[in-house]
Amino acid sequence: MHEGSGVDLSSYLEIAARSDPGMVRSNNEDSVKTHPALGLVVLADGMGGYNAGEVASGMATTLLATELDRIFTARSPGSEGAEGVPWVHQVLAGEIARANNAILHAAQSQPQYSGMGTTLVMALFHDNKMTVAHIGDSRLYRCRGEDFDQVTRDHSLLQEQIDSGMITAEEARHSQNKNLVTRALGIDPSVEPEIHDYDVQPGDIYLLCSDGLNDMVEDEEIAMTLQMLSANLELCATQLVQMANDNGGRDNVSVIVVKIKQAFPAPRGWLNRLMAWFCK
């Protein structure tokens, strides 16, 4: 149990992760990290020649998982922030900036890593909610009962064209510009992650994935798989990767599936707990 967060979330969440090179590429430039006790999941899709993308995504997930474990072990994510910004948002933005600098420095100082970068999507579960940070076109979806929604919005040229009305969402599915992201870690000295909080409910299933899944498998098929295999997340994650590969597997494919087993409210102080007991 963590002193800072006060809750070991591994009994409240079920998590399964898979990462596969796909059917075409010889190496896997995706990287995934899960930390069930902390309620942290991180996925990155690297880009760059040779093994540079693999290095960038690996640096991003390892640095973030390590530093966030250290920080949130000492202090709860639900702590008060400054100037109206939630503390957890400040921490995520700061650690993402540090990871960005580390990847950029490696790319600039070592010729074989020149131009490398990575997307990022991560979720931290705490206090009956989920804080999501993302950069690029790796996605997070939510399956709640019969509803299946894309929570994140791609930072990509394609999304900008959809937003401006240049093309429709259906035309975007067949576009040649699918992999042109407008934000990535390790490319510029500063990067702006998008960070939001969402309430979660028991029974919710969350899917983090690289574009190797959603480019190869329709959202409707992803939703059906999550709903049908919600009782077996390990099989669900394996099946999602298999579906992408069965459809051609033109890219690396990575998934993290998270199921909310029960509510996980923030622990309260002894006085609040006593008052709650008397007011029952």
Query: Quick check: 2 pLDDT over 50?
Result: no
Q: Average pLDDT, stretch 138-162? A: 95
Q: Which of 9-13, 17-21, 167-171 is least confident?
A: 167-171
Q: Which of 17-31, 57-71, 255-269 is least confident?
A: 255-269
For the chain, the three-class secondary structure string (H helix, E strand, C coil) is CCCCCCCCHHHCEEEEEEEECCCCCCCCCEEEEEECCCCEEEEEEEECCCCHHHHHHHHHHHHHHHHHHHHHHHCCCCCCCCCCCCHHHHHHHHHHHHHHHHHHHHHHHCHHHCCCEECEEEEEEECCEEEEEEECCCEEEEEECCEEEECCCCCEHHHHHHHCCCCCHHHHHCCCCCCCECCCECCCCCCCCEEEEEECCCCCEEEEECHHHHCCCCHHHHHHHHHHCCCCHHHHHHHHHHHHHHCCCCCCEEEEEEEECCCCCCCCCHHHHHHHHHCC
pLDDT at residue number 266: 84
pLDDT at residue number 268: 64
Residues 106-145: tens digit of each pLDDT: 999 999 999 999 999 999 999 999 999 999 999 999 999 9
The residue ranking higher by pLDDT, 175 or 225, is: 225
Residues 32-52: tens digit of each pLDDT: 999 999 999 999 999 987 679
Do the beta carbons of residue 68 and residue 87 sit within 8 Å? no
Residues 222-279: tens digit of each pLDDT: 999 999 999 999 999 999 999 999 999 999 999 999 999 999 998 765 444 444 444 4
The identity of residue 242, as a single letter, is: Q
Query: Quick check: 1 pLDDT over 60?
Result: no
In the chain, where the domains are located: 9-278
pLDDT at residue number 17: 98
Burial grade of 85 (CB within 10 A; 0-12, 13-18, 19 or more): exposed
- Would you place residue 280 in the very low, low, confident or very high pLDDT band (cuts 50, 70, 90)? very low
Do the beta carbons of residue 180 and residue 158 sit within 8 Å? yes
pLDDT at residue number 55: 97
Do the beta carbons of residue 43 and residue 256 sit within 8 Å? yes
Superfamily name with CATH number, domain 9-278: PPM-type phosphatase domain (3.60.40.10)
pLDDT at residue number 51: 78
Cα(239)–Cα(242) distance, integer angstroms: 5
pLDDT at residue number 7: 80
pLDDT at residue number 86: 95
Nearest residue to 261 (alpha-carbon basis) of 198, 197, 200: 200
Residues 178-219: tens digit of each pLDDT: 778 999 999 999 999 999 999 999 999 999 999 999 999 999
The torsion defined by the Cα of 188, 190, 194 and 197, in degrees rounded to 10, comes to: 140
pLDDT at residue number 170: 76
